[in-house]
Amino acid sequence: MRDGIPRFVPEDNYAKSFGYQWNAHRLTQLDSYVGLPVSRDRLLRESGWTADELQDREVLECGSGAGRFTEVLCQTGAAVTSFDISKAVDANATSNGRFANLRLLQASIYDLPLVDESFDYLVCLGVIQHTPDVERSFKTIFRYLRPGGKFCIDVYAAIVAYPHLRQLLRPVTKRIPPGKLYSVVQSVAPRLLPVSMRLGAVPRVGDYLTRLVPVANHRHLGLTDSQTLRTWTILDTFDWLSPQFERPQPRRRLERWCRDLRLSEFEIERIRGLYVVRGTK
């Protein structure tokens, strides 16, 4: 236990770049900070759930980062258990610690101090492609969901038609200490953003052209304020270039894992570069 958070992993682990990132950007993606329901819309759109149905339910959130979805879940009145392997939990605690319905842990998917089949809902967004064994991560989290419980997990889609220049850079950039890499991203990404914007505006092929510039471009999110857009660009460009693991998955493999788990109902939807897997256990 440190700073009121139970800790079940070594301080120094493979996800330390995430700890750095989410403490540097504790507020950036929180709806309450942005003033727009970006995270709320994404969570409800991907899961197909309503905020009302979550009230008083036991919800497990895996890999919560700075807590953009933790905030949304807590606001529904659910009893939320949220964990992350990295020091991101400290940022989450600072922002969302005020919610009496939140229990936060620093722990790994692979070794959770939780009771099997004790949750009604399972949420895991933006996480499992960043773990060393994606199949094991995917299958392990279902242990904690009760039969008949609902789940929503998203994962980077492995799509042949979706190459991006950043994929060539990451094998090198992930070896750079987080503080140094962050300084480079902070100075270079804002300069590349206008280039990416111009390419993105080219009719029909704009989306493909932006992939030639290794900078996160969130023009589709409706962030109208240029300072907000710039900050999201720095955060997500770092998020692309720094993780130790990034393993996108093909749809067929996800289908196979769902069948292995004998889920009573599931569907897989592609949303931009993600596969969203949702259903009932």
Minimum distance of ligand SAM from residue 48's CB (angstroms)? 18
User: Is residue 108 within the footprint of ligand SAM (CB under 6 A)?
Assistant: yes
**Residues in region 8-47 near ligand SAM by CB under 6 A:** 15, 18, 22
What is the separation, in whole angstroms, between the first and last Cα of the chain? 33
User: Is residue 125 within the footprint of ligand SAM (CB under 6 A)?
Assistant: yes
- Residue 17 phi/psi, 5-degree rounding, is -65, -35
User: Is residue 109 within the footprint of ligand SAM (CB under 6 A)?
Assistant: yes
175 Cβ contact partners less than 8 Å away, ≥ 6 residues apart: none
**Identity of the residue, 65 or 149, whose beta carbon is nearer to ligand SAM in the bound complex:** 65
User: Is residue 86 within the footprint of ligand SAM (CB under 6 A)?
Assistant: yes
User: Is residue 85 within the footprint of ligand SAM (CB under 6 A)?
Assistant: yes
Helices 16-24 + 178-200 axis angle, to 10: 70
DSSP structure class, residue 131: S
> Which of 47-55, 124-132, 247-255, 261-269 is the region at the interface with ligand SAM (rule: CB under 6 A)?
124-132
Name the closest residue to ligand SAM (Cβ).
65
Minimum distance of ligand SAM from residue 69's CB (angstroms)? 6
User: Is residue 63 within the footprint of ligand SAM (CB under 6 A)?
Assistant: yes
Minimum distance of ligand SAM from residue 39's CB (angstroms)? 8
**Identity of the residue, 64 or 233, whose beta carbon is nearer to ligand SAM in the bound complex:** 64
Give the three-class secondary structure for 54.
helix
Minimum distance of ligand SAM from residue 112's CB (angstroms)? 8
User: Is residue 153 within the footprint of ligand SAM (CB under 6 A)?
Assistant: no
Distance CA 185, CA 221 (A): 21
Strand-pairing partners, residue 230, are: none
112 Cβ contact partners less than 8 Å away, ≥ 6 residues apart: 8, 83, 105, 144
User: Is residue 278 within the footprint of ligand SAM (CB under 6 A)?
Assistant: no
Give the three-class secondary structure for 27.
coil
User: Is residue 237 within the footprint of ligand SAM (CB under 6 A)?
Assistant: no
CB 273: neighbour CB atoms within 10 A?
14
> Which of 80-88, 91-99, 191-199, 204-212 is the region at the interface with ligand SAM (rule: CB under 6 A)?
80-88
Cα separation values, 181 from 21, 159, 172, 189, 234, Å: 11, 27, 11, 11, 11
Residue/partner pairs of 166-172 with CB below 8 Å, 24 or more apart: 166/214, 166/237, 166/240, 166/241, 169/214, 169/241, 170/240, 170/241, 170/243, 170/246
Minimum distance of ligand SAM from residue 203's CB (angstroms)? 31
Tell me which of 25, 40, 57, 68 binds ligand SAM, using CB under 6 A: 68
User: Is residue 223 within the footprint of ligand SAM (CB under 6 A)?
Assistant: no
List residues binding ligand SAM (CB under 6 A).
15, 18, 22, 63-65, 68-69, 84-86, 88, 108-110, 125-127, 130-131, 239
